[in-house]
Amino acid sequence: MSQPHRRTVVVLAAGEGKRMKSALPKVLHPLLGRTLLGHVLAAAGPLRADRTVVVVGHGADQVRAHLAEVAPDATGVLQAEQLGTGHAVRIALDAVPDATGTVVVINGDVPLLRTGTVEALVAAHEGEGAAATVLAAEVPDPTGLGRIVRDAAGRLEQIVEERDATPAQRALREINAGIYAFDLARLRAALGKLSTDNDQGEEYLTDVFGLLFSAGEPVGVHVAADHVETLGCNDRVELAGLRGLLRDRVNEAWMRTGVTILDPATTWIDVTVSVGRDAVLDQNTQLRGATVVGAEAVVGPDVTLVDTVVGPAATVLRSHAVGAEVGPGASVGPYAYLRPAARLAEKAKVGTFVEVKNSDVGPGAKVPHLSYVGDATIGARANIGAATIFVNYDGVNKHRTVVGDGAFVGCDTNLIAPVEVGAGAYVAAGSALSQDVPPGALGVTRAPQRNIEGWVLRNRAGTVSARAAEQARAAAEGASDGSSSTSEGEAIHGGAEAV
């Protein structure tokens, strides 16, 4: 049984990305759930490399902090001066002096690269015993990209950067994708021979291929099946283009697993999201982060879910949720806002213009409209009337409210925490409760109503209200007079009939 190959992955992530015109390093720009660098690391992950080295430079501290989050086993190596890709790889290999076998070098800005393509490159390289193998692609427009130059027999002769290429070489459409596999020992030897005799005055890693070819070493080309995977990113226009391509790839993959996406052009799903079979995603839906949508759930239109779990057969309509849980068969929206730790149990309902934060809404419980629920526990089948406010903050601390199973809270109520409404209790509409309501009791805090007759005519004379009140009074007096005589006549007429 043959021994597995030892492998090292080197990711080049030191560039500033000037054309991005951003304080954020280029490789840290986000793209559907991962950074550009994160996508590259994810593609290389299944290679099971012994070491992963990321060359950092511009924004090194930011890139290292990101690595600590997404790839804590990777080693960040500083390229203080960006003197070329060859220089960057030499610095990376200096950090792993005991490494042997195959080294895979990947540019940090190719987020559409698939794992299968990297694995195929490495398999071809190791299978042929090559000193170096480059991933190439046939592209419609090679402008700005390095060209693959082959000899008469079709073998790789050299890789030429566009600014150093002849007119004939610039006409070539087979380009260097910036992804390579090398025999590590032969790479180390060739790196020491690189020169800076080129337009940029830098050490080009691609010159290694010419050196190896001239020395009679076997060098190879592996052509990617889909050139789109090799697309890099230099500015925000290209970033937007990559985002659209990745959206289409992700949406197609989910539809092929049994998810209905009604408008793929307006549906954006992060690569970190999970969606269950027979779920329906309506237009203008965004699923981000660690969001999970269960089987047969309906999400959208006009929904954004961030790190939110939606249970099977639940419905979320025109709403925004962050760090929330929506139980099986539950209903949210339209125009609801679920904040972190909002948890809806099975068949719970959170309706129109309701905000929920750090609260548990029990099975079958309802908060239908125009309410704020903060730091609360709402029992099973409880009903929270419109315009109810869970008053959880005293200016210093947050306090919790408990509403028991089957309780009924009337409209326009303030529940001033900490307070508890017992199981089966009622709260009269318009109340402001600061004391507990025992199970089965009615909590009322309304002041007795009193009407001050004639107040508007005395204090708001000449206003629209005063005129309306005067007209209503006159109409009432007239109706009273008419109804009195009519009643008498009807009584007499009725008496005659009775006789």
Where is the binding site for UDP-N-acetyl-alpha-D-glucosamine, in residues? 12-15, 26, 79, 84-85, 146, 161, 176, 234, 339, 357, 372, 383
Query: What φ, ψ does residue 42 adopt, rounded to 5°?
Result: -65, -40
**Is the backbone peptide bond immediately before 334 cis, with ω within 30 degrees of 0?**
yes
Q: How far apart are CA 226 and CA 115, in angstroms?
A: 13
Q: Which of 435, 389, 378 is nearest to 412 (CA)?
A: 389
Contact 352, 333 (CB under 8 A): yes
Q: Give Dmax (Cα) for the chain.
A: 133
The DSSP string of 244-278 is HHHHHHHHHHHHHTT-EES-GGGEEE-TT-EE-TT
The DSSP string of 124-154 is HHHHHT-SEEEEEEE-S--TTSPEEEE-TTS
For residue 366, give the 3-state DSSP assignment. Answer: strand
Beta strands in 337-411, from DSSP E residues, in sequence order: 337-338, 342-344, 349-352, 355-357, 359-361, 366-369, 372-374, 376-378, 383-384, 389-391, 401-403, 408-409
Contact 385, 367 (CB under 8 A): no
Q: Residue 289 is which amino acid?
A: G
- Kind of pairing between the strands at 132-138 and 174-183: antiparallel
For residue 47, give the 3-state DSSP assignment. Answer: helix
Q: Which two tokens stand for residue 90?
A: 């030499």
Q: Residue 295 is which amino acid?
A: A
Cα distances (angstroms) measured from residue 300 to each of 254, 261, 284, 341: 16, 10, 7, 21
Q: Which residues are catalytic?
A: 369
C-alpha torsion 331→372→291→271, nearest 10: 120
Cα distances (angstroms) measured from residue 94 to each of 55, 64, 66, 97, 237: 11, 18, 23, 5, 36
Q: How far apart are CA 69 and CA 180, in angstroms?
A: 26
Q: Binding site for Mg(2+), residues?
A: 109, 234
